[in-house]
Structures are given as C-alpha cells and as structure tokens.
Structure 1
Amino acid sequence: MKFGFSSYSFYQKMQTGEMNLFDVFDWVAQSEGEHLELATVSLSEQMTNDTSTLDTDPEFVAAIKAKARSTGVELSNLVIPADFLPGTQEEFDFQMERVKGHIRVADELGIRLFRHDVVKWAHRDSGIVDFETSLPTIVDASKEIAQFAAGYGITTSVENHGLMMNASERVRRLIYLVDEPNFKTTLDVGNFLVVDEDPVTATAQNLSVTSIIHLKDFYIRPERDYPGPGWLLTAGGNHIRGSIVGYGDMDMRSIFRAIDASDFDGYVSIEFEGIEDCLLGAQRGLENTKRILEEIR
C-alpha cells in the first residue's frame, strides 16, 4: 500500500490563505506521504460549493503538473462532486460534460483513479422506493462515465458519501449494476457513520471492490448526548465530529486488520477533517496509521 494525503486534509489552511495547493505539494514532499489526492472542493471557497476551475483553466493544470514533477509528489486520484439527479435535462447534461472534462484533466495530470459523486451529499431519499426509482438513472450515468474513462485507461469510482449513496450494500449494488471493470468504490472508512453503519463491517464488505481508501476517524456521541455546535447529525440522529486518525472513537485496529487481511494493495489517503490544526492532523494521522498497522501485524 502507498500512504499519502487528500488535499481536502489541508482545506483549513487553504481556506484562510495560509497555504495554497502548491504549498501543499511542498509539505507533502517533505512528509512521509507517498502521494497526494486532488479534491476539487479543497480549491473552492466553500466546501459545499465546488467552484474550482480545473476543467476550464489549462494553465492551472499545467502548473499543477509541473509542481508534481518538481516535488516528486505522485498524484493518485482526482475527486469531484457530481449530481446525476439534478431535476432538468439541461442540468444533467451539464453534470455529465463536467465530469468528462475532469476525466480529461486527470489524464493530462497522469492520474489513473477518478472519483465522482452520483448525488448531492444532502440528498436524503425518503425510503427504499425513492432509492429504487432513482437508481436506473444513476446506473446509466455512472456506466457512461466509466466507459468514457476507460478510453483514457482511468478507473472511476463512487464514494460512500452523503445520505443516499453511502450504505455499503447500496455502493456494492451500484457497482454490480454498472458492471464495468473500471468502476469501483473510493472506500471511506469513516463515512459509513453518516448513515449509522458499523465501519468495521462495512469496510470489510467493500474492500473487494475498492480502488482507493480514505482513512479518517470520528468522535461519536449517541443521540441522547447532544455535544453542542460543530457536530454532524447522522441519518439516525447521532452526532459525529472528525478527529485525528487513531484519536477518535472508531475501532481503527479492527478496520486496519480487515484492510491488511484483504487483497487491497493500492493508495491509502489520510483525509483529515477535524478541528485540530490540519498539519498536525495529517502528520499524526499518518504516524498513527503506520504505528497501528505495525502493532496488529
């Protein structure tokens, strides 16, 4: 496995202007990380609104390519939001072309893994009927994108992310229905908590269809214990908040045992989203990851 970071881990300092993407490359090059994953939301002013210009700014792309080459930082994955249930055909067509445009960018940057959402993070289905009704559209769009990416030798993936397409079985079902060899999942070990699924079991179940892993940890508080502002309310009414990997309430050792026992041997990204200093969070997260893996082996 190759351990590195998502650019999302540095959003805290990128938002304030203390760091830009090129500073992140320098930091990663001096760290023990082996790769960097590019998340377009980290290039935006707001996490909930992707205003990045990767697909429309070839000079920026060329500068990123040059920076990766000069620092020796390997680019592993390109991560973008997408919504295949936007409401109008015009918006759907825009989404599809935007995803394809970013696949071209990934190819230009030499990136062979590409993650796209299929619905908005906050899209909350009203039940199984809503999910089943929406699924054919999501499947067809994901299949078209995967086939397009195959022409560039790129593997696409859906992340367990948000409120609708998050549960491990839903992710596996989508992959099965798309039925393209280059369509897999970006497996985020912590995101399963958003829909109150056990991360250990869910991780183990989805490793066989995984293209890249996101490592994160969460503090967890049950429904009756409202901890105050700044915590994410899960679908089941519990509360979670990002932490440094190894510092939170998730059973990271059992998760690492499942990963280590699997056939997965690809990229692993620390995706820090806590309130601690992000550089500390990224560094300690990687240190804890390597330490825990050594302890369980």
Structure 2
Amino acid sequence: MKLGLSSYSLFSALQSKEINILEAIQWIADQGGEHIEMVPMGFSLDDDPDLIHAIRQRAENAGIEISNYAISANFITSTNEEYENEIERVKKQVDIANLLGVKLMRHDVASRPVNETSIEQFEEDLPSIVYACRQVADYAATFGITTSVENHGYFIQASDRVRTVINHVDRTNFKTTLDIGNFMCVDEDSVSAVKKNISLASMIHIKDFYLRPSYNNPGEGWFPTTAGNYLRGAIVGHGDIDMREIVKIIKQSGYDGYVSVEFEGLEECKKGSKISMDNLRRLWEEA
C-alpha cells in the first residue's frame, strides 16, 4: 500500500491561495505521504505545460510520486455533437495525464439529477456511456495509461452499476477508482460494496462520513443521500464507516497499489488531512 493524499483534500487552502499546488506537494511529502493524486480543483493544468513540468519536478525533488489524475466528465449530453466533443475533451485530458507521467487516470462518466437516476434510466444510457469509455480507454492504452470510473455522482455510484459499466466496456485498462465512502451517497453499505468491487480497483480513495437518518436533519454542513438520509465529511477514523473492517478487506485482498486519502470535512483542511493520513497508516499496520 502506498499512502498519499488527493490534492482535493487541500482544496480550501488551494482556493484561498494559502498554498499553491507546488507547495501542496511538499506539504504532503512532509507529512509522510508517498504520493499525491492530482485533482485540478483550485488550479488548472489545461494549456499549461510549464506548470505540469513544475509539478513533476517538485514531486521528484520531494521524493513522492504522482499517482493518479482525476477529472470530471459527463457523457450524457443533449446532442451528438456535444457527446463527441466531450469524448475528445477527455482524450485531451489523457494527454495531460501522460505529460504528468501518471499511469492512472480517473474520469467521471455520467451525471443526472437525483430524480433521473433510476435503474431504467441507467440501462437506457449504458450504451452511450460504454462507447465513450471505450474510446477514451483505447486512446489511453497508447500511453500505457489505465482509465477508471469512480463510484461518484449519484448516477454511477452503486457498486453493481460500476461493475456493469466496467464489464460492458471490457477493456483491460479500464477499472474503478474505488471510493470507500461514496457508496453511502446512494445508501449502500460501504463494507459490502468494497467487498464487491475491490477486485476491480486500480486506485482506492479512503474517506469517512458521519451518517444521520432522514428524520434527523442536522442542518448546515450536511448533504442528502438519494434516500434522504444525511452525510457530512469526517476525518478518517472519526466517522461512521467501519474503517477497521474496510482496511482489513483491502489488505487481505492483496491490493498493493496507491491509497489516496480524501478529506472533505469541516475541519481545517491541512489538520484534517494530516490526522486522516496518520489514522489510516495506524489502521493499516494494525489490520
């Protein structure tokens, strides 16, 4: 297991300009992180080869790897022209991943409003999703890059839907970025879902959530699941996910790749990220 941090965890500091992405790389290394996952929020790599080069150099100097490049995407569009344009846009993001020197890239595949996320709608959209993912994966294969779908965005978030997309795309370099917490957004138990999908993971995100039932709306800082329950980001090990069991499942599966902490709690982001990384390291050693 290679423990690191998603740059998304430091989004508030990046957005406020408290730190920049190069300083974030050094900060992660100083906390004992072995890699950084690049999520272009609070900064952009589009049309900026100088920044890409600087990121690679800073990571090398800091002695950590760049593990994964994660971007947003949505292949559900109003017109065929928009659909083709989105495929081409994501391919250009593959070019950025290649310039970063990474061999893993996560791209979202589809998003719909919660009231349009039925299984019937998923089945109707599946052919378009599969075709687009194949186009991107085949292009990424020319660089030796494995692309992945994350359980993310309500529509493609349940473990069975992720498995279905991967099985239909049917490319050896198309897998899943397995986020242990995101299953809860569609009211799926994280332990059961991780067991289902761990064999398909090219990358793992470790995050934690507090969970409250639908009849107990805690107010500001919480967001609803598809069934109307409530979630709030937590420091890893502080929330309601059975983190010890999750870590045990991952470790016993034989997974030995990158594990990226994603902190999105209300605490100050550097403090929350550091405690999360320390807790995960301890839990891994104890598993």
The residue identity in structure 1 corresponding to 2:282 is: R
**Alignment RMSD:** 1.3
The answer to whether the aligner puts 1:135 opposite 2:129 as a matched pair is: no
What is the deviation of 1:71?
A: 2.0
What is the deviation of 1:121?
A: 6.8
CA distance in 2, matches of 1:7, 1:126: 29
Equivalent residue, structure 1, for 2:15: 15
What is the deviation of 1:70?
A: 2.3
Equivalent residue, structure 2, for 1:88: 79
What is the deviation of 1:168?
A: 0.1
CA distance in 2, matches of 1:208, 1:183: 13
Equivalent residue, structure 1, for 2:272: 281
- TM score, norm. by length of structure 2: 0.97
Q: Secondary structure at the match of 2:88?
A: helix
CA distance in 1, matches of 2:112, 2:240: 23
Equivalent residue, structure 2, for 1:176: 167
Moved over 6 A (4+): none
Equivalent residue, structure 2, for 1:267: 258
Q: Which structure 1 segments of 5+ residues have no match? A: 44-51
- TM score, norm. by length of structure 1: 0.93
After superposition, the C-alpha distances for 1:259-279 in whole angstroms (9 at most, x for unaligned) are: 111021100000000010111
Equivalent residue, structure 1, for 2:235: 244
Equivalent residue, structure 1, for 2:39: 39
Contact 1:124 1:163 in 2 (8 A): no
Q: In 2 relative to 1, CA 258–42 (structure 1 residues): closer, same or farther, beyond 3 Å?
A: farther
The answer to whether the aligner puts 1:230 opposite 2:225 as a matched pair is: no
CA distance in 2, matches of 1:107, 1:114: 9
Moved more, 224-233 or 191-200: 224-233
Contact 2:114 2:226 in 1 (8 A): no
CA distance in 1, matches of 2:141, 2:147: 9
The residue identity in structure 1 corresponding to 2:229 is: N
> Between Structure 1 and Structure 2, how many residues are aligned?
287
What is the deviation of 1:293?
A: 2.2
The answer to whether the aligner puts 1:153 opposite 2:129 as a matched pair is: no
CA distance in 2, matches of 1:20, 1:120: 29
Q: Secondary structure at the match of 1:245?
A: coil
What is the deviation of 1:56?
A: 1.8
CA distance in 2, matches of 1:57, 1:107: 14
CA distance in 1, matches of 2:113, 2:13: 25
Taking only the aligned residue pairs, the percentage that are identical comes to 48
The residue identity in structure 1 corresponding to 2:26 is: D
